[in-house]
Homo-oligomer: A and B are copies of this chain.
Amino acid sequence: MLQKGVFDVEKIRQDFPILQRKVMGGKPLVYLDNAATTQKPLSVINAISDYYTNYNSNIHRAVHQMAEEATIAYEETRKKIAKFINAKSTDEIIFTRNTTEAINLVAYSWGRANVKKDDRVVITEIEHHSNIVPWQILTQEKGAKLEYVGVGDDGYLKMHEYRNYLDSNKVKLVSVSQMSNVLGTITPVNEIIRSSHEKGIPVLIDGAQSVPHMPVDVQKLDCDFMAFSAHKMLGPTGVGVLYVKRDILEKMPPFMGGGDMIKEVHKYETRYNDLPYKFEGGTPNIADVIGFSAAIDYLDNLGMDRVREHEIDITKYALDRISGVKGVTVYGPANAKDRGGVVSFNIGDIHPHDLATIMNDHGIAIRSGHHCAQVLMERLDVAATSRASFYIYNTKQEVDKFIEALDEARRLFKI
């Protein structure tokens, strides 16, 4: 079964108009930059066009027909997302621009109200800058301390360091990625959340890489905050989601002040709106939230279990093949079951930027650089890595092309 793939990738590819594209003067596009952003199926593109063509209107505050239609479509998306991650209530789903804004919202609103001098915020060495810089800013402002759980050479978190931090009894928040965008490591969030909660410490899960690629259930996880981005899961750019458990959300002060997030504004005082609107100031990104709805439908239809299975399958194949290439160092867990569909590596003294340029000549889009994870780069003692990352429409033949291009790079650089 796994031989033939867990679902019909050729059929899926037909839903993605961009995959018909030729690049670099006629080469078929091989898109292996999915951890940065994924491509969009026609249904998502059409949902956005349909909105602008048929019922574009500002929402929530008007009674005309199009405003109603737009409001319903916008709020239906919220319901769909609540269901997708199994939130208890739609009130716990806040739309942001992206994962980055979602985490900043927590840092500004919850963080400034709860983190005090000498408190600790615990993150890890594998975090994306979006889950580092907001905490640097917060802890510096408050005179609190930022602590990093290390990562071993094998790509796994050093859980004893984490437990030591907890034992200090000074930790106010743990914020950790469920899947590394560089190493692919799937982190033991169940254990992290359970042991943090034993100490009464809330946990934020950066789900930017996990929610698009595997089944995620916030109630089962019991996480307190979860952040992710639509554009990394077939959806449009400009939409992110912040999930917050209701009892925490109810106590959070507002973040952005403005229209839509208020109930009553008087000159010197304001009553804020009900959840979740209190946290959505100003005209939202209506069209793209509605577009995101179609993306969720697409993934639901495939089934997240099968998405995960497909990625294990192709990642395993890629790891097998790349390990046969001379001069290659691969980062992250060796076992494909412990990692997402992300393969970061270096080859000889070829800088990743140069490698990406050579790949591009072959129509292959990979990413190179620090992947917004410079703390991890310092830990790995490299300036940068190359990264190939997969999604539902990638095939083993594409992996083969990628390996061929690696050989070509070796030829050019005489390695």
A contacts, CB < 8 Å to B: 17-18, 21, 23-24, 29, 31, 33, 36-37, 39-40, 44-45, 48-49, 52-58, 61-67, 97-101, 103-104, 107-108, 128-130, 132-137, 146, 148, 229, 231, 236-240, 254-262, 264-270, 281-288, 353, 356-357, 359-360, 364-369, 372, 374-375, 378
Q: Return chain B residues, CB-CB under 8 Å to A55.
A: 18
Quick check: B129 and A257 within 8 Å, CB to CB?
yes
Subset of 18 A-B contacts with CB under 8 Å: A18-B56, A21-B54, A36-B61, A37-B57, A37-B283, A40-B56, A57-B365, A61-B369, A63-B357, A64-B365, A65-B360, A97-B97, A97-B282, A130-B282, A133-B258, A238-B285, A238-B286, A285-B285
Chain B contacts of A65 at CB under 8 A?
23-24, 360, 365
Q: Is B229 touching A283 in the complex (CB atoms < 8 A)?
A: yes
Complex contacts, A61 vs chain B, CB 8 Å:
36, 367, 369, 372
Contact B64 A360 (CB under 8 A): yes
Q: Is the CB of B98 within 8 A of A283?
A: yes
B62 and A100 contact, CB distance less than 8 A: no
**Quick one: which of B44, B129, B282 contacts A100, CB cutoff 8 A?**
B282
Majority SS of interface residues in chain A?
mixed
Asked if B266 and A374 make an inter-chain contact with CB atoms under 8 angstroms apart, the answer reads: yes
CB distance from A28 to the nearest CB of B (A): 13
**Contact call A237/B365, Cβ cutoff below 8 A:** no
Asked whether A146 lies within 8 Å of B262 as measured between CB atoms, the reply is: no
A372-B259 in contact given A33-B57, A97-B285, A287-B238 (Cβ < 8 Å) = yes
A237 is contacted by which of B18, B31, B103, B283 (Cβ under 8 Å)? Answer: B283
Distance in Å from the Cβ of A267 to the closest Cβ of chain B? 6
The residues of B that contact A39 with a CB separation of less than 8 Å are 52, 56
- Of B54, B58, B136, B281, the residue contacting A101 (CB under 8 A) is B281
Q: Tell me the nearest residue of chain B to A102, going by C-beta.
A: B282
A235 to B23, CA, bound (A): 29
Q: Once the chains bind, are A62 and B256 in contact (CB under 8 Å)?
A: no
- Residue in chain B with minimal CB distance to A31: B66
